[in-house]
Chain A
Amino acid sequence: MSIFRYAAPSAFYPLAGRMIPWFAAIAAASILIGLYWGFFQTPAQLGGTNPQKEYYRIIFVHVPAAWMSMWLYLVLAVWSAVGLVFNTRLSFMMARAAAPTGAIFTFLALWTGAFWGRPSWGTYWDWDPRLTSELILFFLYIGYIALHSAIDDARRADRASALLAIVGLVMLPVIFWSINCPDPNQCAALHQRSDLSQMEPNIFWAMMIMTFGFWMYSFAAVFLRVRGIILSREADSAWVRGLVEGKA
Protein backbone atom coordinates (compact mmCIF):
# COMPACT_ATOMS: atom_id res chain seq x y z
CA MET A 1 0.00 0.00 0.00
CA SER A 2 2.74 2.41 0.91
CA ILE A 3 4.66 1.94 -2.33
CA PHE A 4 1.85 3.64 -4.23
CA ARG A 5 2.42 6.85 -2.39
CA TYR A 6 5.55 7.20 -4.54
CA ALA A 7 3.28 7.52 -7.56
CA ALA A 8 2.97 11.16 -6.59
CA PRO A 9 5.71 13.32 -8.06
CA SER A 10 6.18 15.13 -4.78
CA ALA A 11 6.99 11.91 -2.95
CA PHE A 12 9.08 10.38 -5.71
CA TYR A 13 11.28 13.43 -6.09
CA PRO A 14 13.17 13.11 -2.77
CA LEU A 15 13.27 9.31 -3.03
CA ALA A 16 14.90 9.48 -6.44
CA GLY A 17 17.30 12.11 -5.16
CA ARG A 18 18.50 9.82 -2.40
CA MET A 19 18.96 6.88 -4.73
CA ILE A 20 20.88 8.59 -7.52
CA PRO A 21 24.32 8.71 -5.85
CA TRP A 22 24.10 4.98 -5.10
CA PHE A 23 23.21 4.06 -8.65
CA ALA A 24 25.90 6.32 -10.02
CA ALA A 25 28.56 4.82 -7.79
CA ILE A 26 27.61 1.22 -8.55
CA ALA A 27 27.46 2.09 -12.25
CA ALA A 28 30.92 3.59 -12.28
CA ALA A 29 32.34 0.66 -10.38
CA SER A 30 30.68 -1.97 -12.56
CA ILE A 31 31.68 -0.34 -15.80
CA LEU A 32 35.28 -0.01 -14.68
CA ILE A 33 35.40 -3.62 -13.53
CA GLY A 34 33.69 -4.75 -16.70
CA LEU A 35 36.10 -2.89 -18.92
CA TYR A 36 39.10 -4.09 -17.01
CA TRP A 37 37.87 -7.68 -17.14
CA GLY A 38 37.04 -7.33 -20.80
CA PHE A 39 40.33 -5.85 -21.80
CA PHE A 40 42.73 -7.75 -19.61
CA GLN A 41 41.20 -10.99 -18.54
CA THR A 42 39.89 -12.28 -21.80
CA PRO A 43 41.68 -14.08 -24.60
CA ALA A 44 43.26 -12.16 -27.44
CA GLN A 45 40.78 -13.40 -29.94
CA LEU A 46 37.15 -14.36 -29.97
CA GLY A 47 38.03 -17.99 -30.35
CA GLY A 48 36.31 -20.92 -31.94
CA THR A 49 35.47 -20.40 -35.58
CA ASN A 50 35.70 -16.64 -35.19
CA PRO A 51 38.99 -15.22 -36.45
CA GLN A 52 38.53 -11.73 -35.00
CA LYS A 53 41.50 -10.25 -33.18
CA GLU A 54 41.94 -7.68 -30.43
CA TYR A 55 39.43 -5.29 -31.90
CA TYR A 56 36.63 -7.67 -31.02
CA ARG A 57 36.81 -6.24 -27.52
CA ILE A 58 34.54 -3.48 -28.64
CA ILE A 59 31.87 -6.11 -28.09
CA PHE A 60 31.94 -5.19 -24.41
CA VAL A 61 30.45 -1.82 -25.17
CA HIS A 62 28.57 -2.61 -28.36
CA VAL A 63 26.48 -5.54 -27.22
CA PRO A 64 25.45 -4.19 -23.79
CA ALA A 65 24.61 -0.85 -25.41
CA ALA A 66 22.42 -2.60 -27.99
CA TRP A 67 20.67 -4.60 -25.28
CA MET A 68 20.08 -1.46 -23.23
CA SER A 69 18.67 0.36 -26.23
CA MET A 70 16.05 -2.32 -26.64
CA TRP A 71 15.29 -2.74 -22.95
CA LEU A 72 14.86 0.97 -22.45
CA TYR A 73 12.40 1.18 -25.32
CA LEU A 74 10.38 -1.53 -23.61
CA VAL A 75 10.58 0.43 -20.35
CA LEU A 76 9.44 3.56 -22.15
CA ALA A 77 6.50 1.76 -23.72
CA VAL A 78 5.49 0.11 -20.43
CA TRP A 79 5.52 3.42 -18.55
CA SER A 80 3.52 4.93 -21.41
CA ALA A 81 0.92 2.18 -21.15
CA VAL A 82 0.73 2.56 -17.36
CA GLY A 83 0.23 6.29 -17.80
CA LEU A 84 -2.56 5.85 -20.32
CA VAL A 85 -4.37 3.23 -18.28
CA PHE A 86 -4.03 4.76 -14.82
CA ASN A 87 -3.78 8.40 -15.86
CA THR A 88 -0.78 9.02 -13.60
CA ARG A 89 1.43 11.97 -14.48
CA LEU A 90 4.60 10.44 -13.07
CA SER A 91 4.40 7.46 -15.42
CA PHE A 92 4.51 9.77 -18.42
CA MET A 93 7.40 11.68 -16.89
CA MET A 94 9.36 8.47 -16.41
CA ALA A 95 8.76 7.49 -20.04
CA ARG A 96 9.90 10.91 -21.21
CA ALA A 97 12.97 10.70 -18.99
CA ALA A 98 13.94 7.28 -20.30
CA ALA A 99 13.86 8.28 -23.95
CA PRO A 100 17.10 10.27 -24.22
CA THR A 101 19.08 7.60 -22.36
CA GLY A 102 17.68 4.95 -24.69
CA ALA A 103 18.57 7.08 -27.68
CA ILE A 104 22.10 7.56 -26.38
CA PHE A 105 22.61 3.82 -26.01
CA THR A 106 21.22 3.25 -29.50
CA PHE A 107 23.64 5.83 -30.84
CA LEU A 108 26.49 4.21 -28.94
CA ALA A 109 25.58 0.80 -30.33
CA LEU A 110 25.54 2.23 -33.85
CA TRP A 111 28.92 3.95 -33.49
CA THR A 112 30.66 1.00 -31.86
CA GLY A 113 29.06 -1.23 -34.45
CA ALA A 114 30.50 0.90 -37.21
CA PHE A 115 33.95 0.89 -35.66
CA TRP A 116 33.75 -2.85 -35.22
CA GLY A 117 32.59 -3.24 -38.77
CA ARG A 118 35.55 -1.44 -40.24
CA PRO A 119 38.21 -3.97 -39.32
CA SER A 120 36.01 -7.06 -39.49
CA TRP A 121 33.83 -6.39 -42.55
CA GLY A 122 36.05 -3.84 -44.24
CA THR A 123 33.42 -1.16 -44.13
CA TYR A 124 31.79 1.12 -41.56
CA TRP A 125 28.28 0.32 -42.63
CA ASP A 126 27.06 -2.76 -44.40
CA TRP A 127 23.31 -2.63 -43.95
CA ASP A 128 23.69 -5.55 -41.65
CA PRO A 129 20.18 -6.45 -40.44
CA ARG A 130 20.86 -6.00 -36.76
CA LEU A 131 22.60 -2.67 -37.14
CA THR A 132 19.90 -1.48 -39.51
CA SER A 133 17.33 -2.44 -36.91
CA GLU A 134 19.27 -0.37 -34.37
CA LEU A 135 19.11 2.55 -36.77
CA ILE A 136 15.35 2.23 -37.05
CA LEU A 137 15.11 2.01 -33.26
CA PHE A 138 17.06 5.25 -33.13
CA PHE A 139 14.46 6.85 -35.42
CA LEU A 140 11.69 5.60 -33.14
CA TYR A 141 13.34 7.23 -30.13
CA ILE A 142 13.87 10.48 -32.02
CA GLY A 143 10.29 10.38 -33.24
CA TYR A 144 9.04 9.98 -29.68
CA ILE A 145 11.13 12.87 -28.40
CA ALA A 146 10.24 15.04 -31.41
CA LEU A 147 6.51 14.49 -31.00
CA HIS A 148 6.68 15.26 -27.30
CA SER A 149 8.61 18.47 -27.95
CA ALA A 150 6.30 19.58 -30.74
CA ILE A 151 3.21 19.68 -28.54
CA ASP A 152 2.84 22.59 -26.17
CA ASP A 153 0.12 21.21 -23.95
CA ALA A 154 1.83 18.87 -21.49
CA ARG A 155 -1.10 16.50 -21.17
CA ARG A 156 -1.55 16.08 -24.90
CA ALA A 157 2.22 15.71 -25.36
CA ASP A 158 2.36 12.97 -22.75
CA ARG A 159 -0.55 11.01 -24.10
CA ALA A 160 0.27 11.41 -27.79
CA SER A 161 3.86 10.29 -27.40
CA ALA A 162 2.69 7.46 -25.13
CA LEU A 163 0.40 6.20 -27.87
CA LEU A 164 3.23 6.54 -30.38
CA ALA A 165 5.54 4.55 -28.11
CA ILE A 166 3.02 1.73 -27.84
CA VAL A 167 2.40 1.66 -31.59
CA GLY A 168 6.16 1.61 -32.04
CA LEU A 169 6.50 -1.30 -29.64
CA VAL A 170 3.87 -3.28 -31.51
CA MET A 171 5.49 -2.53 -34.86
CA LEU A 172 9.06 -3.12 -33.65
CA PRO A 173 9.08 -6.92 -34.00
CA VAL A 174 7.50 -6.59 -37.44
CA ILE A 175 10.07 -4.03 -38.54
CA PHE A 176 12.99 -6.02 -37.13
CA TRP A 177 11.73 -9.17 -38.72
CA SER A 178 11.25 -7.60 -42.12
CA ILE A 179 14.79 -6.23 -42.05
CA ASN A 180 16.28 -9.50 -40.82
CA CYS A 181 14.28 -11.63 -43.15
CA PRO A 182 13.54 -9.66 -46.31
CA ASP A 183 13.09 -12.80 -48.33
CA PRO A 184 10.50 -14.99 -46.68
CA ASN A 185 11.57 -17.86 -48.88
CA GLN A 186 14.85 -18.10 -47.05
CA CYS A 187 16.24 -16.11 -44.17
CA ALA A 188 19.91 -15.18 -43.80
CA ALA A 189 21.76 -12.81 -41.55
CA LEU A 190 25.18 -11.29 -41.93
CA HIS A 191 25.63 -11.02 -38.20
CA GLN A 192 27.32 -14.09 -36.89
CA ARG A 193 24.84 -16.14 -34.97
CA SER A 194 26.74 -15.95 -31.73
CA ASP A 195 25.18 -18.25 -29.24
CA LEU A 196 25.64 -17.01 -25.70
CA SER A 197 26.09 -20.48 -24.24
CA GLN A 198 29.00 -21.18 -26.53
CA MET A 199 30.84 -18.08 -25.52
CA GLU A 200 34.01 -18.27 -23.50
CA PRO A 201 32.98 -17.66 -19.86
CA ASN A 202 35.30 -14.68 -19.30
CA ILE A 203 33.87 -12.84 -22.26
CA PHE A 204 30.36 -13.68 -21.16
CA TRP A 205 30.86 -12.43 -17.63
CA ALA A 206 32.58 -9.26 -18.75
CA MET A 207 29.59 -8.49 -20.97
CA MET A 208 27.19 -9.22 -18.14
CA ILE A 209 29.01 -6.90 -15.80
CA MET A 210 29.03 -4.16 -18.40
CA THR A 211 25.31 -4.67 -18.94
CA PHE A 212 24.70 -4.42 -15.22
CA GLY A 213 26.80 -1.26 -15.12
CA PHE A 214 24.79 0.23 -17.96
CA TRP A 215 21.56 -0.60 -16.13
CA MET A 216 22.81 1.20 -13.04
CA TYR A 217 23.85 4.15 -15.16
CA SER A 218 20.39 4.17 -16.73
CA PHE A 219 18.70 4.30 -13.36
CA ALA A 220 20.90 7.17 -12.28
CA ALA A 221 20.49 9.12 -15.54
CA VAL A 222 16.75 8.57 -15.80
CA PHE A 223 16.11 9.46 -12.16
CA LEU A 224 18.20 12.59 -12.54
CA ARG A 225 16.28 13.60 -15.64
CA VAL A 226 12.89 12.81 -14.17
CA ARG A 227 13.66 15.02 -11.19
CA GLY A 228 14.25 17.88 -13.59
CA ILE A 229 11.01 17.12 -15.41
CA ILE A 230 9.07 16.94 -12.14
CA LEU A 231 10.38 20.31 -11.04
CA SER A 232 9.53 22.05 -14.29
CA ARG A 233 6.07 20.47 -14.56
CA GLU A 234 5.05 20.93 -10.98
CA ALA A 235 6.59 24.39 -10.72
CA ASP A 236 3.31 25.93 -9.59
CA SER A 237 2.70 23.54 -6.76
CA ALA A 238 3.24 24.38 -3.14
CA TRP A 239 5.96 21.86 -2.43
CA VAL A 240 8.15 23.01 -5.32
CA ARG A 241 7.77 26.62 -4.33
CA GLY A 242 8.70 25.58 -0.82
CA LEU A 243 11.86 23.95 -2.15
CA VAL A 244 12.78 27.02 -4.14
CA GLU A 245 12.14 29.34 -1.22
CA GLY A 246 14.09 27.05 1.06
CA LYS A 247 17.10 27.36 -1.18
CA ALA A 248 16.75 31.06 -1.88
Chain B
Amino acid sequence: MLEVADLECRRGDRTLFSGLSFAVEAGTLLHVRGRNGSGKTTLLRALCGLLTPETGAVTWNGEDIRRLADDYHRDMLYFGHLNGIKHDLSGIENLRVAATLDGDRPDEKDLWTALEQMGLEGFEDLPTKVLSQGQKKRVALARLLLSRAPLWILDEPFTALDADAVDLLQMLIARHVAEDGMVILTTHQEVPLTSGQIRRLHLGP
Protein backbone atom coordinates (compact mmCIF):
# COMPACT_ATOMS: atom_id res chain seq x y z
CA MET B 1 0.00 0.00 0.00
CA LEU B 2 1.28 3.43 -0.94
CA GLU B 3 0.76 6.25 1.51
CA VAL B 4 1.45 9.90 1.04
CA ALA B 5 1.58 12.26 4.00
CA ASP B 6 1.67 16.05 3.86
CA LEU B 7 3.46 16.23 0.54
CA GLU B 8 4.67 19.55 -0.77
CA CYS B 9 6.47 19.99 -4.06
CA ARG B 10 8.17 22.99 -5.55
CA ARG B 11 9.29 23.51 -9.09
CA GLY B 12 11.77 26.35 -9.34
CA ASP B 13 10.22 29.07 -7.21
CA ARG B 14 6.62 27.90 -7.50
CA THR B 15 4.95 25.72 -4.90
CA LEU B 16 2.84 23.35 -6.97
CA PHE B 17 0.90 21.73 -4.17
CA SER B 18 1.21 21.33 -0.43
CA GLY B 19 -0.34 19.39 2.39
CA LEU B 20 -1.23 16.55 0.04
CA SER B 21 -2.17 13.29 1.78
CA PHE B 22 -3.76 10.16 0.40
CA ALA B 23 -3.40 6.39 0.31
CA VAL B 24 -3.64 3.85 -2.47
CA GLU B 25 -4.57 0.31 -1.46
CA ALA B 26 -4.40 -2.89 -3.43
CA GLY B 27 -7.02 -3.11 -6.14
CA THR B 28 -7.26 0.64 -6.60
CA LEU B 29 -6.85 2.92 -9.57
CA LEU B 30 -5.93 6.48 -8.69
CA HIS B 31 -6.71 8.93 -11.44
CA VAL B 32 -4.81 12.19 -10.99
CA ARG B 33 -6.40 15.08 -12.76
CA GLY B 34 -5.67 18.74 -13.12
CA ARG B 35 -5.02 21.43 -15.64
CA ASN B 36 -1.73 21.70 -17.51
CA GLY B 37 0.93 22.90 -15.13
CA SER B 38 -0.94 21.83 -12.01
CA GLY B 39 1.82 19.49 -10.94
CA LYS B 40 0.54 16.07 -12.06
CA THR B 41 3.85 14.96 -13.55
CA THR B 42 5.73 16.38 -10.58
CA LEU B 43 3.53 14.41 -8.22
CA LEU B 44 4.08 11.18 -10.12
CA ARG B 45 7.82 11.74 -10.20
CA ALA B 46 7.80 12.42 -6.47
CA LEU B 47 5.91 9.16 -5.95
CA CYS B 48 8.62 7.35 -7.93
CA GLY B 49 11.39 8.82 -5.88
CA LEU B 50 12.83 10.70 -8.86
CA LEU B 51 12.06 13.99 -7.17
CA THR B 52 12.57 14.94 -3.55
CA PRO B 53 9.59 16.78 -2.12
CA GLU B 54 10.00 19.94 -0.04
CA THR B 55 8.24 18.35 2.90
CA GLY B 56 6.24 15.24 3.54
CA ALA B 57 6.88 11.58 2.99
CA VAL B 58 5.90 8.81 0.65
CA THR B 59 5.76 5.38 2.25
CA TRP B 60 5.42 1.98 0.68
CA ASN B 61 4.06 -0.67 3.01
CA GLY B 62 4.97 1.50 5.94
CA GLU B 63 8.52 2.34 4.99
CA ASP B 64 9.83 5.54 3.49
CA ILE B 65 10.65 5.04 -0.18
CA ARG B 66 13.92 6.93 0.29
CA ARG B 67 15.07 4.23 2.65
CA LEU B 68 13.71 1.38 0.58
CA ALA B 69 15.28 2.65 -2.65
CA ASP B 70 15.95 -0.41 -4.82
CA ASP B 71 13.42 -2.54 -2.96
CA TYR B 72 10.73 -0.01 -3.75
CA HIS B 73 11.78 0.09 -7.39
CA ARG B 74 11.39 -3.66 -7.56
CA ASP B 75 7.74 -3.26 -6.66
CA MET B 76 6.92 -0.49 -9.07
CA LEU B 77 6.95 0.35 -12.74
CA TYR B 78 7.05 3.90 -14.08
CA PHE B 79 6.17 5.23 -17.50
CA GLY B 80 6.94 8.88 -18.10
CA HIS B 81 6.52 11.11 -21.09
CA LEU B 82 9.51 9.62 -22.85
CA ASN B 83 9.24 6.10 -24.14
CA GLY B 84 12.40 4.80 -22.60
CA ILE B 85 13.37 2.72 -25.60
CA LYS B 86 16.46 2.91 -27.76
CA HIS B 87 15.67 3.73 -31.37
CA ASP B 88 18.63 1.84 -32.73
CA LEU B 89 17.57 -1.37 -31.06
CA SER B 90 14.75 -3.59 -32.23
CA GLY B 91 11.60 -4.08 -30.21
CA ILE B 92 12.68 -7.48 -28.99
CA GLU B 93 16.12 -6.20 -27.98
CA ASN B 94 14.57 -3.30 -26.10
CA LEU B 95 12.22 -5.60 -24.28
CA ARG B 96 15.02 -7.98 -23.40
CA VAL B 97 17.05 -5.17 -21.83
CA ALA B 98 14.04 -3.80 -19.99
CA ALA B 99 13.11 -7.20 -18.60
CA THR B 100 16.68 -7.87 -17.47
CA LEU B 101 16.85 -4.51 -15.76
CA ASP B 102 13.54 -5.26 -14.05
CA GLY B 103 15.27 -8.19 -12.45
CA ASP B 104 13.59 -10.95 -14.38
CA ARG B 105 15.08 -13.82 -16.30
CA PRO B 106 12.81 -13.59 -19.28
CA ASP B 107 12.15 -16.54 -21.48
CA GLU B 108 12.73 -15.61 -25.12
CA LYS B 109 9.31 -17.04 -25.90
CA ASP B 110 7.69 -14.72 -23.34
CA LEU B 111 9.30 -11.69 -24.94
CA TRP B 112 8.00 -12.54 -28.40
CA THR B 113 4.56 -13.34 -27.00
CA ALA B 114 4.43 -10.03 -25.18
CA LEU B 115 5.18 -8.08 -28.35
CA GLU B 116 2.66 -10.15 -30.24
CA GLN B 117 0.02 -9.38 -27.65
CA MET B 118 0.78 -5.69 -28.03
CA GLY B 119 -0.08 -6.01 -31.70
CA LEU B 120 3.46 -5.83 -33.00
CA GLU B 121 3.64 -9.18 -34.73
CA GLY B 122 6.04 -8.93 -37.65
CA PHE B 123 7.59 -5.76 -36.29
CA GLU B 124 9.50 -7.27 -33.37
CA ASP B 125 12.94 -7.33 -34.90
CA LEU B 126 12.88 -4.05 -36.75
CA PRO B 127 14.84 -1.16 -35.25
CA THR B 128 12.26 0.89 -33.45
CA LYS B 129 13.24 4.05 -35.28
CA VAL B 130 11.30 2.82 -38.32
CA LEU B 131 8.15 2.29 -36.27
CA SER B 132 5.43 4.88 -35.86
CA GLN B 133 4.95 6.83 -32.65
CA GLY B 134 2.12 4.59 -31.61
CA GLN B 135 4.09 1.46 -32.33
CA LYS B 136 7.05 2.76 -30.34
CA LYS B 137 4.70 3.32 -27.42
CA ARG B 138 3.42 -0.24 -27.78
CA VAL B 139 6.99 -1.54 -27.55
CA ALA B 140 7.50 0.50 -24.39
CA LEU B 141 4.24 -0.70 -22.87
CA ALA B 142 5.04 -4.35 -23.59
CA ARG B 143 6.92 -4.29 -20.31
CA LEU B 144 3.61 -4.21 -18.51
CA LEU B 145 2.90 -7.71 -19.72
CA LEU B 146 6.12 -9.12 -18.28
CA SER B 147 6.35 -7.13 -15.08
CA ARG B 148 5.30 -8.55 -11.74
CA ALA B 149 5.41 -5.20 -9.98
CA PRO B 150 2.25 -4.46 -7.99
CA LEU B 151 2.40 -0.69 -8.45
CA TRP B 152 2.16 0.98 -11.83
CA ILE B 153 2.73 4.70 -12.14
CA LEU B 154 1.76 5.86 -15.61
CA ASP B 155 2.08 9.44 -16.83
CA GLU B 156 -0.21 10.05 -19.82
CA PRO B 157 0.09 6.47 -21.09
CA PHE B 158 -2.58 6.84 -23.76
CA THR B 159 -0.88 9.52 -25.84
CA ALA B 160 -0.04 8.49 -29.42
CA LEU B 161 -2.04 5.27 -29.14
CA ASP B 162 -4.71 4.41 -31.68
CA ALA B 163 -8.14 3.17 -30.66
CA ASP B 164 -7.12 -0.50 -30.60
CA ALA B 165 -4.09 0.18 -28.46
CA VAL B 166 -6.15 2.34 -26.11
CA ASP B 167 -8.57 -0.54 -25.62
CA LEU B 168 -5.68 -2.92 -25.07
CA LEU B 169 -4.08 -0.71 -22.47
CA GLN B 170 -7.35 -0.13 -20.70
CA MET B 171 -7.84 -3.88 -20.57
CA LEU B 172 -4.35 -4.37 -19.15
CA ILE B 173 -4.92 -1.76 -16.50
CA ALA B 174 -8.28 -3.18 -15.57
CA ARG B 175 -6.83 -6.66 -15.31
CA HIS B 176 -3.97 -5.44 -13.14
CA VAL B 177 -6.36 -3.73 -10.74
CA ALA B 178 -8.60 -6.79 -10.66
CA GLU B 179 -5.60 -8.88 -9.66
CA ASP B 180 -5.07 -6.60 -6.65
CA GLY B 181 -2.50 -4.39 -8.32
CA MET B 182 -2.32 -0.62 -7.94
CA VAL B 183 -2.32 1.88 -10.75
CA ILE B 184 -1.72 5.61 -10.47
CA LEU B 185 -2.13 7.48 -13.69
CA THR B 186 -2.73 10.82 -15.31
CA THR B 187 -4.77 11.00 -18.43
CA HIS B 188 -7.49 13.02 -20.01
CA GLN B 189 -9.44 9.89 -20.84
CA GLU B 190 -11.78 7.88 -18.68
CA VAL B 191 -10.54 4.45 -17.72
CA PRO B 192 -13.31 1.94 -17.10
CA LEU B 193 -12.66 -0.84 -14.62
CA THR B 194 -14.25 -4.23 -14.32
CA SER B 195 -13.52 -4.54 -10.61
CA GLY B 196 -11.71 -2.62 -7.93
CA GLN B 197 -12.27 1.01 -7.14
CA ILE B 198 -11.43 4.21 -8.94
CA ARG B 199 -10.33 7.18 -6.84
CA ARG B 200 -9.86 10.61 -8.23
CA LEU B 201 -7.37 13.20 -7.11
CA HIS B 202 -7.66 16.71 -8.40
CA LEU B 203 -4.62 18.97 -8.33
CA GLY B 204 -4.66 22.68 -8.60
CA PRO B 205 -7.59 25.10 -8.65
Q: Which residues of B contact A235 (CB under 8 A)?
A: 13
A153 at the interface (CB under 8 A from B): yes
Q: Tell me if A236 is interfacial: C-beta within 8 Å of chain B.
A: yes
* Interface bracket on B: under 10
Near B by CB (< 8 A), chain A positions 85-130 give 87
CB pair B12 A153 closer than 8 Å:
yes
Looking at chain B's contact residues, is the secondary structure mostly helix, strand, loop, or mixed?
loop
- Residue A154 is within 8 A (CB to CB) of chain B in the complex: yes
**Which residues from chain A contact B12 at a C-beta distance below 8 Å?**
152-154
Number of interface residues of A (CB under 8 A): 6
Bound complex: CA of A152 vs CA of B12, how far in Å? Answer: 8
Chain A contacts with B in 196-248, Cβ cutoff 8 A: 235-236
Q: Which of B8-29 contact A (CB under 8 A)?
A: 12-13
Which residue on chain B has the smallest CB distance to residue A153?
A: B12
Cβ–Cβ < 8 Å partners of A153 in chain B: 12
Per the bound structure, the CA–CA distance linking A177 and B188 in Å amounts to 60
The 8 A CB mask of A135-159 against B (1 = contact, 0 = none) is 0000000000000000011100000
Residues on the A chain within 8 Å of B13, using CB: 235-236
Q: How far is the CA of A87 from the CA of B55 in the complex (A)?
A: 11
How distant is the Cα of A72 from the Cα of B52 in the complex, in angstroms? 29
Closest CB of chain B to A153's CB: distance in Å? 6
Would you give the shortest CB distance from B51 to chain A, in whole angstroms? 10
Bound together, the chains give a CA A152 to CA B52 distance in angstroms of 17
Question: Could you tell me the distance between the alpha carbons of A243 and B52 in the complex, rounded to whole angstroms?
Answer: 30
Which residue of chain A has the shortest Cβ distance to B11 in the bound complex? Answer: A153
In the complex, the chain B residue whose C-beta lies closest to that of A154 is B12
Q: How far is the CA of A173 from the CA of B13 in the complex (A)?
A: 38
In the complex, which residues of chain B have a beta carbon less than 8 angstroms from the beta carbon of A87? Answer: 52
Nearest 6 interchain pairs by C-beta: A236-B13, A153-B12, A154-B12, A235-B13, A87-B52, A152-B12
A-side residues, CB < 8 A to B, are 87, 152-154, 235-236
Sampled A-B contacts (6; CB under 8 Å): A87-B52, A152-B12, A153-B12, A154-B12, A235-B13, A236-B13
